[in-house]
Amino acid sequence: MSVLFMILQVIVLALLAPLVAGVIKNTKGKMQSRRGPGYFQVYYDLAKFFNKDNVISPTVSWIFHIAPYIYFATALGAAALVPTLMFDRGFHYDNIFVLVYLLGLGRFFLALASLDAGSSFGGMGGSREMFINVLVEPVMMLTLFTVAIRANGTGLSQMATATANSDISFSAILAAIAFLILTVAETGRIPVDNPDTHLELTMVHEGMVLEYSGRSVGLIFWGSAIKQLVTILLLVNLFIPWNPADLVPPVVWMIIKVLVIAVVLAAIETSTNKMRLFRIPGFLMATGCLSLLAIIAM
């Protein structure tokens, strides 16, 4: 039953991830006094990409060909591990180390592919992505440890159960704020990166995928949407109490929290400017200090 539930969870999250991305885009447009794209626009974009053929340079190696598939597969693997409704799944590999390294594996191959294409913009985007994520991953592990200490283990199901059974505390609030900032950095949103830009001097993630087209770029964008939803689910299930008032069913409460975080991400993007690259380390160090304070305050 646990395996069937995980397969069903992967399918549901993969299908809903573009909708969450569409909610963020539409909300951001409304906050900027624009009409904004529709909630289902990301589905239309993915359909457009998958209906087009790939145009690939003859000089690239096998890394460039397989990178989109590895990136998408690691996003699906992360979707299988993230706790949603069924915490005790009897699965012994739903560990924070496995999850973080799965996401890192997809990012690593995408950065390799950006270098393999031989484009100056791709190399710039790949180097910036690695520079940012070398700082993001340790801070993310430190923030997840604030929950792991409370749960006496690093299993995601165990940590989600501990969060569901715990009350709101000052330590939990600090950890939640730190992970919200990390969600912005991990998903490549303003102020760390701008997912909607194609300016050569400022783009990070977009620089790595400039040489892709057709189905390959569709897999990358779909994988990014899944990774964004996985990160939001980690925030709402590990750092925000499950259903403190017991007023609504757990699934409804989880949907409400995901939508609230989507609106918060849109508000952050609307109210801030993109940060200069050399200021990002200080920004992430401050996030790490919040995590340390959360551990001290436990």
Which structure tokens are listed for 147?
């929950």
Given this model, what pLDDT does residue 87 score?
A: 53
For the chain, 298 residues long, give each residue's pLDDT as a single digit of tens.
Answer: 577 888 899 999 999 999 999 999 999 999 988 888 899 999 999 999 999 988 888 888 899 999 999 999 999 999 998 888 755 555 556 788 889 899 889 989 998 988 887 777 777 888 888 888 888 888 999 999 999 998 888 888 888 888 877 777 888 889 999 999 999 988 888 888 877 766 666 677 777 888 888 899 999 999 999 999 999 999 998 898 766 556 777 788 888 999 999 999 999 988 888 888 888 888 888 898 999 998 888 7
Given this model, what pLDDT does residue 105 score?
A: 92
**Amino acid type, 260:** V
Distances (CA, A) of 188 to 185, 248, 282: 5, 32, 17
Given this model, what pLDDT does residue 222 score?
A: 95
Given this model, what pLDDT does residue 4 score?
A: 83
Question: How many residues appear in the chain?
Answer: 298
Report which of 71, 93, 73, 72 is spatially closest to residue 82, judged by C-alpha positions.
93
Given this model, what pLDDT does residue 83 score?
A: 85
Instruction: Say which residues have a Cβ less than 8 Å from residue 279's Cβ, sequence separation at least 6.
Output: none
Distances (CA, A) of 65 to 35, 58, 110, 146: 37, 11, 10, 39
Residues 164 and 242 sit within 8 Å (Cβ to Cβ): yes
> What pTM was computed for the model?
0.91
Residue entry with tokens 């959360």: 294
- Report cis status (omega within 30 of 0) of the bond before 191: yes
First to last CA, the chain: 36
- Torsion 57-63-66-68 (CA) sign: negative
**How far apart (Å, rounded) are the C-alpha atoms in residues 273 and 193?**
10
Given this model, what pLDDT does residue 132 score?
A: 86
**Amino acid type, 131:** F
Residues 186 and 100 sit within 8 Å (Cβ to Cβ): no
Report which of 116, 123, 106 is spatially closest to residue 200, judged by C-alpha positions.
123
Distances (CA, A) of 158 to 59, 86, 87, 88, 174: 47, 11, 7, 7, 21
- Torsion 101-220-115-199 (CA) sign: negative
